[in-house]
Structure 1
Amino acid sequence: MSLIKIILAIFLPPVATFLQVGLGAHFWLNILLTLLGGVPGMVHALWLVLKK
């Protein structure tokens, strides 16, 4: 499952973040970062997925 989350973190960062933490502050932060630019959202999602 973690490989799928890593792939999702690269291509769909908010989905990977939602699967990892749910509808919390990190999810909304990731939405904001993804809207500001794809790379910050991707880095944040990868950080969340690989942290746990």
Structure 2
Amino acid sequence: MSALAFLQSWCSSCCDDGWEHTYGGTISTLDNPGWRLKIDLADTPLDRSGSRGGGAYRE
């Protein structure tokens, strides 16, 4: 499975008509060749904050 296919599958599993509007993620380009992917992990299986809806920001 490619990284993009994995990301699509994972994001699809988190979408519940609320998460993607409240948290979600962004993809942007960098000044040098590359991409930045930011995803708020709150209310996902990867949320390690110990609270619902208040995940810590990690970059």
Judge same fold: TM > 0.5, yes or no. no
Greater RCO (Cα-Cα under 8 Å, separation 6 or more): 1
TM-score by length of 2: 0.27
Larger Rg: 2
TM-score by length of 1: 0.29
Structure number with higher helix proportion: 1
Structure number with higher strand proportion: 2
